[in-house]
């Protein structure tokens, strides 16, 4: 079963159902039912036209659900006849769906959650992790969003900021392991950059390109994470870096700074350093100051504390970290790193082990466990 193919086809199938007259919530349910059917049928009997098969099955699922719902019987005249068979349309409606999901009737948070689930291909658990909320809470939020837009005509697209937030979260999920998902987010952001004249669109595209340029160096042959400072910079994609820096410079020249441009500026400084030791950490701290002013995000302040530790020494970094909520994701890992830099290996080892227990994915957990084991082994030898 080609799950990447299913994820890629889902937005197109959903768009076809919406164009045929299905309201979004019902269409999304029908597509999910069709995907379940595909998982059951395809391993033994794969269709020749995967997209056409999904459209046919999803449309029939929608018709069945519509006919079974007495409250929607007044729409049966419109959906009674199944459209004639033929080749599936080749138009890419994914970006349009992103805008439609960012509907004005939804709050930005609900619009993002709905889009990530229905169009972005993320699971409820992945979305909940991105928002730092329990899975059950996110499931309720998505269900409320679907009820809100049920029966609503999707003729008033949402704003660019919400779409950018969705694309950013999709990219982050892909960047954490699924390269295809990250590449899809870049593809859609490129489309958006050609269609919308907005400096933050350019900022997000630059940020994605600069991060994606490092993908080949982020993991070792055994799949373990390689920290930024230890990555082989010769494996970074200089073509993507050059493009990302060019896009960022053009956006910054417009003097309308936004958070994605500030994040991209930080990524560009990392990309510009020939070695980790030559990184311009004081300037990175200044960009984190700008980013904190723009977002007031505790996660940004956490990253800033680590940057302060690099620029002014680990004790200064620990002082900056002390004022932040210790329950923040990666707070414990950051404290471990700064304590190790400060020469307190015993505390660092304990904190690395604690951070590994809190890690949200296997690769990060393994990396932190290795760090703890490395320091414990060193301490045992010194004794």
What is the Cα 297 distance to its own chain's centre?
Answer: 17
The whole-number pLDDT of residue 222 equals: 84
Tokens of 14: 């959903």
Interior/surface letters 82-118, b for 16+ CB within 10 angstroms, e for the rest: eeeeeebeeeebbbbbbbbbbbeebeeebbbbbbbbb
Instruction: Indicate the range of 82-96, 126-140, 277-291, 305-319 predicted with least confidence.
Output: 82-96
Task: List Cβ neighbours of 15 (8 Å cut-off, separation of 6 or more).
Answer: 93, 94, 96, 97
The whole-number pLDDT of residue 133 equals: 77
28 occurs within a structural domain: yes
pLDDT digits (tens, 9 = 90+) for 359-379: 877 788 899 999 999 999 887
The whole-number pLDDT of residue 88 equals: 41
Tokens of 18: 């919406």
pLDDT digits (tens, 9 = 90+) for 52-110: 999 999 998 988 887 766 444 543 444 444 444 444 444 457 787 778 777 777 777 77
The whole-number pLDDT of residue 171 equals: 85
Residues in the chain: 383
Is it the case that residue 282 has pLDDT exceeding 50? Answer: yes
Q: How many domains would you assign to the chain?
A: 1
133 occurs within a structural domain: no
**Total-model pTM:** 0.74
354 vs 89: which has the higher pLDDT:
354
The continuous run of DSSP H or E covering 169 comes out as: helix 160-175
Domain of 12 in residue numbering reads as 1-84
333 occurs within a structural domain: no
The mean pLDDT of the chain is 85
Rounded to an integer, the average pLDDT of 282-311 is 96
> Using CA atoms, how far apart are residues 31 and 15, in angstroms rounded to an integer?
10
> Phi-psi bin for 237: left (phi > 0), alpha (psi -120 to 50), beta?
beta
66 occurs within a structural domain: yes
100 occurs within a structural domain: no
52 occurs within a structural domain: yes
Question: By percentage, how much of the chain surpasses pLDDT 70?
Answer: 87
Backbone φ and ψ for 376, nearest 5 degrees, come out as -65, -40
239 occurs within a structural domain: no
Rounded to an integer, the average pLDDT of 256-273 is 97
58 occurs within a structural domain: yes
Is it the case that residue 229 has pLDDT exceeding 90? Answer: yes
């Amino acid at each position: 079963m080609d799950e990447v193919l299913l994820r890629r086809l889902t937005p197109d199938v959903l768009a076809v159902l919406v164009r045929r007259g299905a309201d979004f919530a019902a269409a999304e349910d029908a597509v999910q039912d069709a995907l379940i059917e595909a998982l059951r049928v395809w391993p033994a009997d794969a269709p020749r036209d995967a997209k056409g098969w999904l459209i046919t099955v999803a449309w029939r699922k929608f018709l069945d659900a519509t006919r079974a719902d007495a409250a929607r019987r007044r729409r049966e005249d419109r959906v009674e006849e199944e459209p004639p068979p033929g080749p599936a349309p080749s138009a890419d409606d994914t970006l349009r769906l992103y805008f439609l999901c960012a509907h004005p009737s939804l709050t930005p948070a609900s619009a993002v959650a709905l889009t990530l689930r229905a169009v972005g291909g993320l699971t409820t658990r992945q979305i909940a992790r991105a928002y730092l909320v329990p899975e059950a809470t996110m499931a309720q939020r998505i269900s409320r969003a679907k009820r809100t837009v049920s029966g609503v005509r999707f003729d008033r697209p949402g704003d660019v900021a919400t779409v950018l937030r969705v694309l950013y979260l999709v990219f982050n999920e892909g960047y954490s392991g699924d390269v295809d998902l990250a590449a899809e987010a870049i593809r859609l952001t490129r489309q958006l950059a050609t269609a919308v004249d907005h400096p933050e669109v350019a900022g997000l595209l630059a940020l994605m390109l600069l991060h994606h340029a490092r993908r080949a160096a982020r993991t070792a042959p055994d799949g373990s994470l390689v920290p930024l400072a230890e990555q082989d910079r010769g494996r970074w994609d200089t073509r993507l870096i050059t493009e990302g820096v060019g896009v960022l410079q053009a956006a910054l020249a417009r003097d309308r700074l936004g958070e994605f441009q500030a994040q991209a500026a930080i990524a560009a400084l990392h990309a510009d350093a020939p070695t980790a030791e030559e990184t311009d950490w004081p300037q990175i701290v200044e960009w984190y100051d700008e980013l904190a002013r723009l977002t007031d995000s505790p996660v940004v302040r956490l990253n800033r504390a680590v940057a302060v530790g690099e620029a002014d020494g680990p004790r200064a970094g620990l002082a900056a970290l002390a004022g932040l909520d210790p329950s923040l994701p990666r707070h414990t890992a950051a404290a471990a790193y700064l304590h190790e830099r400060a020469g307190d290996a015993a505390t660092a080892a304990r904190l690395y082990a604690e951070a590994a227990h809190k890690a949200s994915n296997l690769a990060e957990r393994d990396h932190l466990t290795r760090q703890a084991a490395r320091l414990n082994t060193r301490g045992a030898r010194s004794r």
